[in-house]
Amino acid sequence: MSIIRKTLVAVVLALCATLALAQDAVLKPFVLASKGPGNPAQTLEATKAALTQAGFTIAGSYSPYAGATILGVTNDELRSTAAKSERGGFGAAVRVAVTQVKDQVQVSYTNPQYMANAYRMAGELKETSAKLQAALGRIEEFGAAGLTAAKLRKYHYTFGMEYFDEPNTLASYPSYEEALKAVEAGLAAGKQGVTKVYRVDVAGKKEALFGVAMKGEGDNKYMDDKYIMSEIDFKDIKSTAHLPYDILVSDNKVYALYARFRIAISFPDLSMMGANSFMNIMKAPEAMRAALALTAGGKEDAR
């Protein structure tokens, strides 16, 4: 075999090996940007400034409980990539969290590449990932042992649980404009404890993502953001950027990812039973679905 041919064979084998490694590489749901002593309010303002300077638009923010603030942010790549796949709007925003944990402040965000695969988007948002890293930092990915891109694109928690392409259809309307109007009105009224945090319009498509806060007490506590996170976000590095929950208006329909998918994709390693398990929030998926459906102007039993 000639030297040139041997070299070509070696290059091809190296490329194949690289591709195989890329396919087997695991992704985790969150990125820890920074942690250390600091003032949460000052850290939040510095985070906002860094994101804006990096070309991100801050669509909205809220504090679901003491010591935690979450920003919904977007950019051109997120909005345009969201337009290229069915219900890609679920990935039109990145959630950035500033969380005080004892005497430290953690800044974290949803991993764009993880979510792009989980939401079956037509692209992996690598540019957005690079911009977030440059703006905020990147210590490590966290939140799970990790899943490959291939597994994320067909993920469900376990047998009988919902996939990404099995969302709840909360309501239907004669037009996109009427669907948007109904959702905006329902969120503004807040009668079900569901209120608007932000809205991101997908580029060139009749699709809009709403980040929504959920607050409930007494019999309605199972849909409450603080209650749910108190049960499942128990590790030292906090997964605060799991919140807020989402409503997607796409054409004339209103959707939400069923909670057994939406929560599990952020906490795929959470055990089914025992302390800090899905069993502790067993009533949450149905409580959330009903509250979201009524907010969107649909029926309580909407599926």
What pLDDT, on the 0 to 100 scale, is given for residue 302? 78
Q: Are 275 and 219 in contact (CB under 8 A)?
A: no
Q: Are 62 and 214 in contact (CB under 8 A)?
A: no
Which tokens in the block code for residue 1? Answer: 């075999």
Residue 145 in domain: yes
Residue 266 in domain: yes
Residue 302 in domain: no
Q: Which of 8-17, 84-93, 183-192 has the lowest mean pLDDT?
A: 8-17
Residue 301 in domain: no
Residue 38 in domain: yes
- At residue 273 the predicted structure's pLDDT band, cuts being 50, 70 and 90, is confident
Residue 231 in domain: yes
CATH number for the domain that contains residue 118: 3.30.310.70
Average pLDDT over residues 252-263: 97
Q: Are 242 and 231 in contact (CB under 8 A)?
A: no
Alpha carbons within 13 A on the beta-carbon side of 13: 6
What pLDDT, on the 0 to 100 scale, is given for residue 5? 52
Residue 18 has pLDDT above 60, yes or no: no
**pLDDT tens digits for 184-201?**
999 999 999 999 999 999
**pLDDT tens digits for 218-236?**
888 999 999 999 999 999 9
The pLDDT > 70 percentage for the chain reads 92
pTM of the predicted model, to two decimals? 0.91
What sign for the dihedral angle of Cα 101, 104, 110, 111?
A: negative
The tally of domains found in the chain comes to: 1
Residue 17 in domain: yes
What pLDDT, on the 0 to 100 scale, is given for residue 2? 54
Number of H helices and E strands in the chain, helices first, is 10, 13
**pLDDT tens digits for 168-178?**
999 999 999 99
Residue 251 has pLDDT above 60, yes or no: yes
What pLDDT, on the 0 to 100 scale, is given for residue 300? 86
Residue 264 has pLDDT above 50, yes or no: yes
Residue 167 has pLDDT above 60, yes or no: yes
Residue 7 has pLDDT above 70, yes or no: no
Q: Which domain holds residue 28?
A: 5-295
Residue 303 in domain: no
